Amino acid sequence: MAKVRTVFRCPDCGASAPKWVGQCPGCAAWGSLVEELDAPLEAVAHALVASSGPPVPIAEVDPTEFTPRPTGVDELDRVLGGGLVPGSVTLLTGEPGIGKSTVLLQAAATVASSGRTVLYLSGEESPQQVRLRAERLGALHPGLFLAAETALPHLISAIDQVQPELVVVDSVQTLVAPELSSAPGSVAQVRECSHRLVQEAKRRGCAVVLVGHVTKEGTLAGPRVLEHVVDTVLAFEGDRHHALRLLRVTKHRFGSTQELGLFEMTESGLVGVPDASGLFLADRRVGVPGSVVVPTMEGVRPILVELQALVADSNLPAPRRSAQGVDSGRLSMILAVVERRVGFPLAKLDVFTLAVGGMKVLEPGADLAVALAVASAMQGRPVPPDLVACGEIGLGGELRQVAHTPRRLAEAARLGFTRAIVPHSAPHDVGGIELIRVGTLLEAMDRLDLFDI
The residues binding ligand TYD (CB under 6 A) are 94, 96-102, 133, 136, 265, 267-269
Q: Which is nearer to Mg ion, 270 or 438 (CB)?
A: 270
Using the rule CB under 5 A, is 189 a contact of Mg ion?
no
Min dist CB 258 to ligand TYD, Å, is 24
184 binds, among Mg ion, ligand TYD, none (CB under 5 to 8 A by kind): none
- Answer yes or no: are the C-beta atoms of 439 and 424 closer than 8 Å: yes
Q: Select 112 or 441, whichever has its Cβ closest to ligand TYD.
A: 112
Identity of the residue, 236 or 344, whose beta carbon is nearer to ligand TYD in the bound complex: 236
Residue 110's binding partner among Mg ion, ligand TYD, none (Cβ under 5 to 8 angstroms by kind) is none
Q: Which does 98 bind (CB under 5 to 8 A by kind): ligand TYD, Mg ion, none?
A: ligand TYD
What residues does 167 pair with on adjacent strands? 119, 208
Q: How far apart are CA 24 and CA 12, in angstroms?
A: 10
Burial of 268 per CB tally in 10 Å (0-12, 13-18, 19+): exposed
Provide, rounded to whole angstroms, the least separation between the CB of residue 442 and Mg ion: 52
What's the half-sphere exposure (Cβ side, CA atoms, 13 Å) at 313?
1
> Which residue in 88, 84, 80 sits closest to 68, CA to CA?
84
- CB 128 to Mg ion: min, Å: 15
CB of 256 or CB of 268, closer to ligand TYD: 268
Rg of the chain taking only CA atoms, in angstroms:
27
- Within 8 A by CB and 6+ apart from 398, the residues are 439, 440, 441
- Minimum CB distance to ligand TYD smaller for 222 or for 397: 222
| Residue 155 CB, nearest approach to Mg ion (Å) | 17
- Whole-number minimum distance, CB 159 to ligand TYD, in Å? 22
- Which C-beta is closer to ligand TYD: that of 94 or that of 365? 94
Burial of 8 (0-12, 13-18, 19+ CB in 10 A): buried
Report what 202 binds from Mg ion, ligand TYD, none; CB cut-off 5-8 Å by kind: none
Contact between 326 and 307 under an 8 Å Cβ cutoff? The reply is: yes
* Number of shown-chain residues binding Mg ion (CB under 5 A): 1
- 387's CB contacts (< 8 A; 6+ apart) are 292, 293, 417, 418, 419, 420, 421, 448
Q: How far is the CB of 137 from Mg ion (least distance, A)?
A: 13
Is beta strand 392-393 parallel, antiparallel or unpaired with respect to 399-400?
A: antiparallel
Q: Which is nearer to ligand TYD, 130 or 177 (CB)?
A: 130
d(C-alpha 193, C-alpha 176), whole Å: 7
By CB under 5 A, the residues from 75 to 134 that bind Mg ion are 101
How far apart are CB 94 and Mg ion at their closest, in Å?
9
Residues lying near Mg ion in the complex (CB under 5 A): 101
